[in-house]
Structure 1
Amino acid sequence: MSDQLLDLVNLTIPAKPDYVGIVRLAVSGVANRMGFSYDEIEDLKLAVAEACTNAVDHAYCGGEGEIEVSCNIFANRLEIAVIDRGNSFDVREVEKRTGPISIEPSMNAVRERGLGLFLMKTLMDHVDIKGDNGVIVTMTKYIRKDVVESHVESSTSYPSNR
């Protein structure tokens, strides 16, 4: 049952920074509807914004283009694909450059070293990047209902002090 796709939400935006917020809002709405916690939704929004920002900054180099975002909704997880048809890149090269994060003269210098990729991998349960005729970043976040349910059960099972 958990491998059956329940719903698919697609969004196509111009590859411009002004539109990344729309993707954040859409992902937030989908994740909220699925039952993710506030913190998990914030993680999802940040990860998807990083993926979209990478596409805006690197795929089209300021030129015209589009970014497709697909939210694949399953019973136990949300899979988000961020797709551009711009310049591909070598993921292994970026990962090699990332290394330990040190104090940099600017956030742009840190970002160039792969901080966005590091953030996506830290915030999501799984990240897969394919670069061929563009880049496809697929990020997966699992719903942790068992954690929420066990917390709710324990808080309601305390004896009353009456």
Structure 2
Amino acid sequence: MASNQPAVDVISLTLPNRVEYLGVARLLVSGVANRMGFSYEEIEDIKLAVGEACTNAVEHAYESEDGTYSLHLVCHVYEDRLLIEVSDQGKGFSIEDAQQQRTTPLMEVMEEDELEEGGLGLFLIQALMDEVVFHTGAGVSVSMTKYLRRDGVAGDDRTISKNQI
């Protein structure tokens, strides 16, 4: 019996909640994105977005950064897209409050090549990925999707949504 579900490979990684392990998360997504055929620039965007999501989890999810808590990274590899989920079981946050903290459009202030990891997390994640979904409640989960554009044409069809659970 044929299934209507798209084929997907799932790669999971669980890391201690410590800054020194964030490079491992970036290496994982870099390798997966490279294997899928993303361009160098797209891979750098994916690494930066994942780095920001992981950094936010390490810095804000738990009261301490002692490694007793975990950060979870799951890559869903589809034929046409990469869906990455970063999650923790720490304290949640209000997406609306976090988004309202930035009142000036960032692109008026700095160029993309001047952006660095840390401090601009939500903005960077939303700017660099095609779809972003936040789940808050008992912990935070960020789902980020980047579409593989084999024809070299990239539209600006980014969507942002949230789901309070």
TM-score of the two chains, using structure 1 as the length reference: 0.80
CA deviations on 1:81-134 (whole Å, 9 max, x unpaired) are 00100010000110011221498xxx9xx82xxx21000000000111111100
Task: Detail structure 1 runs of 4+ shifted over 3 Å in the superposition.
Answer: none
Preserved CA contact (<8 Å) 1:5 1:72: no
2:141 matched to 1:139?
no
Rg larger for: 1
User: For 1:78-117, what aligned pairs fall within 5 Å after superposition?
Assistant: 78-100=82-104, 101=106, 111=119, 115-117=120-122
Q: Secondary structure at the match of 1:145?
A: coil
- Name the count of aligned residue pairs: 140
AA aligned opposite 1:129:
F
Shift of 1:4: 1.1
* Separation (CA, whole Å) in 1 of partners of 2:32 and 2:63: 30
Structure 2 CA distance for aligned equivalents of residues 118 and 89 of structure 1: 15
Q: Which runs of 5+ in 2 are unaligned?
A: 110-114, 154-165
Matching residue's letter, 2:144: M
Partner in structure 1 of residue 76 of structure 2 = 72
How many Å separate the matches in 2 of 1:90 and 1:10? 27
Partners of 2:95 and 2:151 in 1: how far apart? 34
Structure 1 unaligned blocks of 5 or more: 149-162
1:51 aligns with 53
Equivalent residue, structure 2, for 1:118: 123
Partners of 1:85 and 1:99 lie apart in 2 by 29
Distance 1:2 1:44 in 2: 28
| Structure 1 segment 9-24 matched on structure 2, within 5 A | 9-24=11-26
Distance 2:5 2:147 in 1: 12
Residue in structure 2 matched with residue 159 of structure 1 by the alignment: none
Q: Contact 1:36 / 1:143 at 8 angstroms: preserved in 2?
A: yes
- The aligned residue for residue 154 of structure 1 is none
TM-score by length of 2: 0.79
